[in-house]
Structure 1
Amino acid sequence: MPNPAATAAPTLEVRGLRTHFHTRAGVLPAVDGVSFTLERGRILGLVGESGSGKSVTGFSIMGLVDPPGRIAAGEIRFQGRDLVAMPAPELRRLQGNRIAMIFQDPMMTLNPVMRVEAQMIEAVRAHSGASKAQARELARDTLGLMGIPSPEERLRAYPHQLSGGMRQRVAIAIALLHRPDLIIADEPTTALDVTIQAQILSEVQRLVRQHGTSLIWITHDLSVVAGLADDVAVMYAGRIVEHGPVDAVLDQPLHPYTAGLIGSLPSLNRERRRLRQIPGMTPDLLALPPGCAFAARCPRASAACARQPELEAAGPAAAQGALRQVRCFHAGQPAATELA
């Protein structure tokens, strides 16, 4: 059950998180000073290209960063308690119980040589004193909550006997077994067809609202975030470059990188025109420029961009009245040649 003393605190507060990987070529800052707050029952979309640091942020929160990676600085406060400073045994009691993760590949959750029921019963009893019969009943009911037909039959199946979409539903059901306070989902629907993806997104959104769970949905797909999230944080080169209510950010992006991501969506391009794209490549994290990491690709870049911009408040979002943040010296100023 949630900690009663911590109910007044946000579900998650990340402050100045830095996760570095120590390689032979040097120190790679995969996450470089990330900060955000997630309130109870809210859904945050964490968006960016491959290598932006979004998945490493999720793994850092879960305490799943393995050597040569390590959290170099910052705080990760879950209901007021700092996970970074927490003793390992106490952290393990939270993992899979109050904090759960859904992986892109369901086979990272599912054991291919165990029946679904054995895995789910084991997951229940690892964090509770439930009997085997009680654990099995909870497993069956949770499969039903995920919209899985014939849950009794699915319990007796092995993972290879299920379709890709069904395996992912089972993996999500395992994450939901203990009704966690925080779920981190790392692109769990990317490999699924759009129909199955839409069904899973709808079910996840309903369950989050029902139970007051906080959710971080990590993705590169802005169309998924548009229909799912309350807020969005856009990451580039290990840093958040824009953060705010999802409708405000997608309707009126302030950072040129966010504008580029939105402009590259096929649905927003005019008929018979070339698909818009962001020029250049993502920078090498082992050799980041001293100033803005996006400057070399940016149509708004100026001499000021030789300095590193801070993530600063950008005024209240229209209609929502919620604060937006952006890391840019030229926020919201269109350039004549911008992603033309």
Structure 2
Amino acid sequence: MSVHPGRMAPPQQMPQQAQQPVAGHLPVLEVRDLQTRFPTAAGTVTPVDGVSFTLARGEIMGLVGESGSGKSVTGLSIMGLIDKPGRITGGSIKLKGRELVGLPEKALRALRGADIAMIFQDPMMTLNPVLRVATQMTEAILVHERVSKQQALDRARAALVKVGIAAPDERLQAYPHALSGGMRQRIAIATALLHKPALIIADEPTTALDVTIQGQILAEVQQLARQEGMAMIWITHDLSVVAGLADKICVLYAGRVAEYGTVDQVLDAPLHPYTAGLIASVPSHAQKGQALYQIPGMAPMLLALPPGCAFQARCPRADAQCRATPPPHSADQCTDHRAWCWHPVQALATQVSA
């Protein structure tokens, strides 16, 4: 796979750059001004603060940011899996036009697995170590559909084949603890695909796997998303993964969207200084003998966010305006390449060249 100038090299066996999503369809997912809060003894934490994006059928979006940026909480909010006392306090989540915010738990349970599914970083969060794979996969089908056990077993076998598992009958009779990490993750992905959901949320499911297995799974997931027309959110801190997997990228920082655009736009011409810093931090950008670049400082605590832009203490471009006033944000702006920054990188470069 060729890599654009300035683009980080993808992992071994990464799939080719994602094709354009299926056209002519309304958005599968619309998230607008989503806000999720957790009251604590020290104060209220807002790990998701005004997040907005859309996903079309067959489209894959990389949700990127450092640890604590709000990626996983965004995914859990969409799934309706925020534990109390945390709750969604604002915004809208529409799945195929249906509003999910405020739905009763019974209605959300009916949607999970059937219309929306989540793949976790640790497959053992999905798989029960004391039940055979066949038992778990067939129960996942029977809880949503009235089919015979044999029909459910046949579908489970077909799902394993789709994710590249050889000898599926043998794997169905195995216990998860007896399988390798890569095999368990493939089974978790196959389980998520059983009902061909409209949306899959994948929370760093390949982080703990070696590069070769990671590349294989990414290629399989991308192909399945295209074939089945499923929208997918791939949560990761690794830009090299989304470089070859995703159609577009949403970069989060301190619970807010920093930049949003297509993969080519964001990776080849980043606008936000934070995005530019993440790209510069990729090891493949460092020359031999040169120290790896790192963004100075640390992400702020959500209980003590600075006034103005949350990135201002780490940004070399920050000025008095950045320290006083946060950049204006609107969900209507999440339709094209956009950075929520007073001094976008490309704008400064244009001013200098002029």
So what's the TM-score if we normalise by structure 1? 0.92
Counterpart among 315, 321, 340 of residue 327 in structure 1: 340
Counterpart among 44, 49, 59 of residue 27 in structure 1: 44
Counterpart among 202, 207, 210 of residue 190 in structure 1: 207
| CA distance in structure 1 between the aligned counterparts of 2:348 and 2:269, rounded to whole angstroms | 11
Cα displacement (A) at 1:273: 1.2
| CA distance in structure 2 between the aligned counterparts of 1:290 and 1:296, rounded to whole angstroms | 10
Is 1:118 matched up with 2:131?
Answer: no
Q: What's the counterpart of residue 166 of structure 1?
A: 183
Is 1:309 matched up with 2:327?
Answer: yes
Cα displacement (A) at 1:271: 2.1
Contact 2:25–2:56 (CA<8 Å) still a contact in 1? Answer: no
Cα displacement (A) at 1:8: 5.1
Contact 2:58–2:225 (CA<8 Å) still a contact in 1? Answer: yes
Question: How many residues align structurally?
Answer: 324
Contact 1:311–1:328 (CA<8 Å) still a contact in 2? Answer: no
Within a 5 Å distance, the mapping from 1:214-253 to structure 2 comes to: 214-253=231-270
Q: Which aligned runs of 4 or more in structure 1 are off by greater than 2 angstroms?
A: 310-313
User: Greater CA deviation, 301-310 or 49-58?
Assistant: 301-310
Within a 5 Å distance, the mapping from 1:129-148 to structure 2 comes to: 129-148=146-165
Residues 113-149 of structure 1, C-alpha deviations (whole Å, 9 max, x = no match): 0000000000011111110000000000000000001
Contact 2:199–2:231 (CA<8 Å) still a contact in 1? Answer: yes
Counterpart among 246, 271, 281 of residue 264 in structure 1: 281
- AA aligned to 2:68 is G
Contact 2:114–2:197 (CA<8 Å) still a contact in 1? Answer: yes
Is 1:282 matched up with 2:296?
Answer: no
- AA aligned to 1:43 is I
Counterpart among 73, 98, 104 of residue 56 in structure 1: 73
Contact 2:137–2:191 (CA<8 Å) still a contact in 1? Answer: yes
Contact 1:312–1:327 (CA<8 Å) still a contact in 2? Answer: no
Q: What's the counterpart of residue 88 of structure 1?
A: 105
Contact 1:312–1:326 (CA<8 Å) still a contact in 2? Answer: no
| CA distance in structure 1 between the aligned counterparts of 2:25 and 2:236, rounded to whole angstroms | 29
So what's the TM-score if we normalise by structure 2? 0.89
Cα displacement (A) at 1:23: 0.3
Contact 1:241–1:311 (CA<8 Å) still a contact in 2? Answer: no
SS of residue in 2 equivalent to 1:138: helix
Residues 11-34 of structure 1, C-alpha deviations (whole Å, 9 max, x = no match): 000011100111000000110011
Q: What's the counterpart of residue 156 of structure 1?
A: 173
| CA distance in structure 1 between the aligned counterparts of 2:25 and 2:167, rounded to whole angstroms | 40
Q: What's the counterpart of residue 294 of structure 1?
A: 311
Cα displacement (A) at 1:269: 1.5
Unaligned runs of 5+ in 2: 1-23, 350-354
Q: CA RMSD of the aligned region, Å?
A: 1.7
Residues 220-255 of structure 1, C-alpha deviations (whole Å, 9 max, x = no match): 000001010000000000001000001110011100
Q: What's the counterpart of residue 338 of structure 1?
A: none
CA change 1:185–1:179 in 2 (3 A) is: same
- AA aligned to 1:194 is V
- AA aligned to 1:127 is H
Unaligned runs of 5+ in 1: 1-6, 317-321, 336-340
SS of residue in 2 equivalent to 1:274: coil
| CA distance in structure 1 between the aligned counterparts of 2:204 and 2:308, rounded to whole angstroms | 30
- AA aligned to 1:236 is Y
| CA distance in structure 1 between the aligned counterparts of 2:250 and 2:328, rounded to whole angstroms | 15
Q: What's the counterpart of residue 3 of structure 1?
A: none
- AA aligned to 2:261 is G
| CA distance in structure 1 between the aligned counterparts of 2:184 and 2:121, rounded to whole angstroms | 11
Q: What's the counterpart of residue 9 of structure 2?
A: none
| CA distance in structure 2 between the aligned counterparts of 1:62 and 1:312, rounded to whole angstroms | 23
- AA aligned to 2:140 is A
SS of residue in 2 equivalent to 1:323: coil
| CA distance in structure 1 between the aligned counterparts of 2:270 and 2:236, rounded to whole angstroms | 18
| CA distance in structure 2 between the aligned counterparts of 1:334 and 1:168, rounded to whole angstroms | 44
Cα displacement (A) at 1:311: 3.6
| CA distance in structure 1 between the aligned counterparts of 2:258 and 2:161, rounded to whole angstroms | 39
Cα displacement (A) at 1:85: 2.2
